[in-house]
Amino acid sequence: MSLLDLAGVSAGYRRDDPVIRGITLSLQEGTFLGLIGPNGCGKSTLIRAVSGVLPLSEGSVRLDGELLSGLSRKEIARNIAVLPQDTNCPFPFSVREIVSMGRYPHMARFQGMGPADEEIVEESLALTDTLALEGRRITALSGGERQRVMVARALAQRPRLLLLDEPSSHLDINHQVEVFDLLQQLNREHGLTLICVTHDLNYAAEYCDRLLLVSEGATCSCGPPEEVVTAEAIARVYGVDVAVELCGSEGRPRVTPQSRLQRLADSAGV
């Protein structure tokens, strides 16, 4: 049985005006799925629907065969963790306090952290290489450090599925690679199932096992990166000409946008 099943999922923010329509998806445990598509196509909406935050107007989401709508918020949080686009925290909590918040779904009301919880927090800090930061304030960290801390908090939930919405946005290239390397390590070495929204087609193709290309709220294609990221598909969905070449030992697609101005100049013989 797959870990996550979406059957004809439609959802939105206004009645009778769905942002995503009829999305069907089956995700096996241990998959690293990338969600790609233009701005406004419904990627973040799909993440909210899968996490149970946004009610469905049609269809169903099942986790291990159970309807997500039949689970409590705490039950969902024990299985699904979410890393949203905005990870800014206005309060000067320490890094350890932030990561410890990931244990709340597993604790009874008024229950404090026990030795087992502390051990999980310690492991989450170690996995994300943030142990050295544990005493620092979250407000004093760089963007890359803060993102790793937020991943550590998500890991402290001990989820089976981690949903990420643009985890590398606003980061420089060094920290972008750092974050995606960490996600790949968690997926390959620890079996964590990931669904990651990203605008960077090259990161998606390089790191993800499967890609779901969304266009105008519906599935355009879903499969291995080399089948989804083609020059024809990107031109059709994004409205821009690109060159796509297969690189590396695994033959992963590499996308290079083509300048419209240069194409006009070439056609004019300039």
Note the pLDDT tens digit of each residue in 3-31.
999 999 999 998 789 999 999 999 999 99
Sign of the torsion angle spanned by Cα atoms 176, 178, 183, 188: positive
Q: What angle do CA 13, 19, 21 make, to 5 degrees?
A: 125
- Tens place of pLDDT per residue across the chain (270 aa): 699 999 999 999 987 899 999 999 999 999 999 999 999 999 999 999 999 999 999 999 999 999 999 999 999 999 999 998 877 777 889 999 999 999 999 987 777 888 999 999 999 999 999 999 999 999 999 888 999 999 999 999 999 999 999 998 888 999 899 999 999 999 999 999 999 999 999 999 999 999 999 999 999 999 999 999 999 999 999 999 999 999 988 899 999 998 877 666 566 665
Closest CA to 50 of 27, 17, 18, 16: 27
DSSP H stretches of helix in 157-259:
173-190, 201-207, 225-228, 231-238
Q: Is residue 243 within 8 Å of residue 231, measured between CB atoms?
A: yes
State the fold for domain 4-267.
Rossmann fold (3.40.50)
Long-range contacts of 237-241 (CB under 8 A, 24+ apart): 237/37, 237/38, 237/213, 238/38, 239/38
Distances (CA, A) of 255 to 56, 182, 226, 249: 34, 23, 11, 17
DSSP code, position 141 = S
> Residue 2: exposed, middle, or buried by beta-carbon count in 10 A (0-12, 13-18, 19+)?
middle
Report the mean per-residue pLDDT for the chain.
92
Residues in the chain: 270
